[in-house]
Amino acid sequence: MRLLLVGPPGAGKGTQAQFLAAHYSIPHISTGDIFRANLKAGTDLGNQAKAFMDRGELVPDSVTNDMVKDRLTHDDVANGFLLDGYPRNVAQADVLRAFLAENKTPLQAALELSIAPEEIIKRLSSRRTCRACGASSAAGATNCSSCNGADLYQREDDKEEVIARRLEVYKEQTSPIIAFYQNEGILLTIPALGTVAQITDQAITALSKLA
């Protein structure tokens, strides 16, 4: 299965990606997670990305595209992959399409998680992230919902002033990729409402109908 998730920040892409990647036995490739890991490790890539991430802006395409293309050459993508947070604009979608066409491994689905804007702000400003595994938990949680780690923090870019910019960036730059994948005939949309398990079930049902 070769698929990607698209949806605004806070739609639950990271959470769903973990379950879907486990279900299909494919790697979960999150560009945000890769950037955060590089930031933590103090690499050149992390240093290049930091200022953009702190402002809620996109890291330049030149950096992001090369990073994803490199990741997609690892052995573990032989059975497919799940991209989360990439592409974030039509130019990235074009690069991805060309790269996958060259490798004769086109995308099979772009799964959109749709959610109302008021719900997004509520979720993002209250979510906490696990320093050990990167999974998200709701406000008030003392331990990570995924690995039970006790070190939860608020991402710099989940603070209210940055959230507003991330949502603008999503609307202006990322949401046009929905029409892009609709034109490609591979867009599937499900509402990101209900429990995590209900949304995962809906996603699997939608994906099982693929030709």
Site residues (vs ligand AMP, CB under 6 A): 9, 31-32, 35, 52-53, 56-59, 64, 85-88, 92, 157, 166
| 59 or 188: CB nearest ligand AMP | 59
Residue 6 CB, nearest approach to ligand AMP (Å) = 11
| 155 or 201: CB nearest ligand AMP | 155
**Residue 209 phi, psi dihedral angles, 5° rounding:** -90, 0
Residue 131 CB, nearest approach to ligand AMP (Å) = 15
Neighbouring residues of 32: CB distance < 8 A, sequence distance ≥ 6? 14, 84, 85
Cα–Cα distance for residue pair 33/13, rounded to 1 Å: 12
Contact 152, 128 (CB under 8 A): yes
- Among 75, 70, 76, 69, residue whose Cα is nearest residue 99: 69
| 14 or 188: CB nearest ligand AMP | 14
Pick the catalytic residue from 36, 123, 127, 128.
127
Residue 209 CB, nearest approach to ligand AMP (Å) = 27
Catalytic-residue membership of 71: no
The per-residue DSSP string of 167-178 comes to: HHHIIIIITHHH
Neighbouring residues of 182: CB distance < 8 A, sequence distance ≥ 6? none
Rounded to whole angstroms, the maximal C-alpha distance in the chain is 47
Three-state DSSP at 13 gives helix
Residue 15 CB, nearest approach to ligand AMP (Å) = 12
Residue 11 CB, nearest approach to ligand AMP (Å) = 10
Pick the catalytic residue from 2, 13, 36, 128.
13
Contact 14, 84 (CB under 8 A): yes
| 84 or 109: CB nearest ligand AMP | 84
Pick the catalytic residue from 2, 88, 123, 128.
88
Catalytic-residue membership of 88: yes
Catalytic-residue membership of 13: yes
Q: How many other C-beta atoms lie within 10 A of the C-beta of residue 180?
A: 18
Kindly state the tokens that stand for 19: 């379950």
- Annotated active-site positions, please? 13, 88, 127, 155, 166
